[in-house]
């Protein structure tokens, strides 16, 4: 029999932080309790809490501002990818936009706990990225579609299945139209 691997205290803290974010105890904009208070509540060192915070800052869920504290800036990876996607769209950065688009859809599949869809997006991501890089296949109009994805995420959060299907179909129709327009010009 193989030994059961132990989880680090940092992993435990990350899990606790994510739980607070997921269950709404720490909504977007919420300032986290001080590091010392979190360490005391979790029964671990401040160093473990600090590393967990850094990991979630790196993941894009938290933002740490010196002398001001640590704040929740996203509730999941879909939020992070959507913010990156919108930022890339506003800046006209096609490569970052394409990667953020892939990350957004993978994040949705992860949030839905749909392994098949997640793996499908991940397998397509390399092909899509190389196609854009090698063939300069950027689709005009994609930047404008960025805000449609924001609406899609919003109706998913509201658990409005019919509106989510409609929003997704609208995105697909707009992308298909953009590809056809590109082929005729």
Listing DSSP states for 40-83 in one string gives: HHHTS-HHHHHHHHHHHHHTTSEEEETTTEEEE--SSHHHHHHH
Q: Which residue has the higher pLDDT, 30 or 92?
A: 30
Q: Looking at residue 98, what is its pLDDT?
A: 74
Contacts of 45 (CB under 8 A, 6+ apart): 9, 39
Residues in the chain: 185
User: Is residue 2 in some structural domain?
Assistant: no
Average pLDDT score over residue span 35-45: 95
- 52 and 86 belong to one structural domain: no
- 46 confidence band (pLDDT: 50, 70, 90): very high
Provide the number of structural domains found in the chain.
2
Instruction: Residue 14: give the domain boundaries.
Output: 9-72
Which of 72, 98, 122 marks a domain boundary? 72
pLDDT digits (tens, 9 = 90+) for 157-182: 777 778 877 887 887 777 777 667 76
Is 102 a residue whose pLDDT tops 60? yes
- 100 and 147 belong to one structural domain: yes
- 44 and 83 belong to one structural domain: no
Average pLDDT score over residue span 20-41: 92
Which of 26, 41, 72 marks a domain boundary? 72
User: Is residue 34 in some structural domain?
Assistant: yes
- 66 and 116 belong to one structural domain: no
- The rounded mean pLDDT for the chain is 78
- 16 and 99 belong to one structural domain: no
Considering the chain, what percentage of its residues have pLDDT values greater than 90?
21
Give the separation between CA 69 and CA 129, rounded to whole angstroms. 37
Q: Which residue has the higher pLDDT, 37 or 127?
A: 37
Average pLDDT score over residue span 75-94: 70
Is 185 a residue whose pLDDT tops 70? no
Average pLDDT score over residue span 23-46: 93
Tokens of 9: 């205290």
User: Is residue 98 in some structural domain?
Assistant: yes
Q: Looking at residue 159, what is its pLDDT?
A: 75
- 33 and 88 belong to one structural domain: no
Is 89 a residue whose pLDDT tops 90? no
Where do the H-state alpha helices sit in the chain? 9-22, 35-42, 46-58, 77-91, 94-111, 115-135, 146-157, 161-184
pLDDT digits (tens, 9 = 90+) for 112-138: 677 787 787 777 776 666 655 544 445
């Amino acid at each position: 029999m193989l030994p059961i691997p132990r989880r680090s205290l940092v992993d435990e803290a990350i899990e606790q932080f994510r739980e607070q974010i997921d269950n709404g105890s720490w909504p977007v904009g919420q300032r986290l309790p001080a590091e010392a208070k979190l360490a005391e509540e979790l029964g671990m060192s401040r160093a473990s809490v600090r590393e967990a915070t850094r990991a979630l800052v790196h993941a894009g869920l938290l933002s740490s501002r010196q002398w001001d504290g640590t704040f929740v800036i996203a509730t999941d990876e879909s939020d992070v990818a959507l913010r990156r996607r919108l930022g890339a769209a506003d800046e006209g950065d096609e490569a970052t936009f394409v990667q953020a688009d892939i990350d957004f859809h993978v994040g949705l599949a992860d949030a839905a706990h749909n392994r098949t869809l997640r793996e499908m997006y991940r397998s397509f991501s390399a092909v899509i990225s190389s196609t854009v890089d090698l063939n300069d296949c950027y689709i005009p109009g994609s930047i404008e579609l960025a805000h449609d994805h924001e609406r899609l995420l919003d109706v998913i959060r509201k658990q409005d299945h019919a509106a989510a299907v409609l929003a997704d179909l609208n995105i697909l129709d707009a992308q298909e139209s953009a590809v056809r327009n590109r082929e005729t010009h």
